[in-house]
Amino acid sequence: MRILIVEDDAVLAAALTRALTQAGYAVDYADNGEDANRALSNDAYALVLLDIALPKMDGLAVLRRLRERKSRVPVLILTARDTLDDRVAGLDLGADDYMTKPFDLLEFEARVRALIRRGQFDAGKSLTHGGLRFDLEAHRLFHNDVPVELSVRELAVFEVLLSRQGQVVTKEQMVDRLFGWGDDGGSNAIEVYVHRMRKKLEPYNITIRTVRGMGYLLEKSGEKERSEI
Which of the residue ranges 3-12, 73-82, 121-130 would you say has the lowest mean pLDDT? 121-130
Greater confidence (88 vs 208) lies with 208
Going across the sheet that includes 2-6, the strands are 26-30, 2-6, 47-50, 75-79, 97-100
| Local confidence band at 228 (pLDDT 50, 70, 90 cut-offs) | very low
pLDDT, tens digit, 9 for 90 and up, residues 139-151: 788 988 888 999 8
Query: By percentage, how much of the chain surpasses pLDDT 90?
Result: 29
pLDDT of residue 185: 61
Q: Are 40 and 48 in contact (CB under 8 A)?
A: yes
pLDDT of residue 119: 64
Q: Are 173 and 155 in contact (CB under 8 A)?
A: no
Architecture field, domain 2-120? 3-Layer(aba) Sandwich (3.40)
**Cα 160 from Cα 229, distance rounded (Å):** 29
Most confident of 54-58, 89-93, 185-189: 54-58
Say which DSSP state 70 is in.
T
Give domain limits for the chain.
2-120, 126-228
CA distances from 202 to 21, 169, 195 (A): 27, 20, 11
Provide the pairing of β-strand 97-100 with 126-129.
unpaired
Reduced to 3 states, what is the DSSP secondary structure of residue 108? Answer: helix
For the residues 98-127, what does the mean pLDDT come to?
A: 79
For the residues 77-82, what does the mean pLDDT come to?
A: 83
**Cα 229 from Cα 226, distance rounded (Å):** 5
Residue 49's DSSP bridge partners are: 5, 76
Architecture field, domain 126-228? Orthogonal Bundle (1.10)
Greater confidence (3 vs 167) lies with 3
Residue 218: closest CA among 177, 167, 175: 167
The answer, yes or no, to whether residue 51 has pLDDT greater than 90, is yes
Residue 181: closest CA among 4, 19, 16, 20: 4
Q: What is the pTM of this model?
A: 0.60
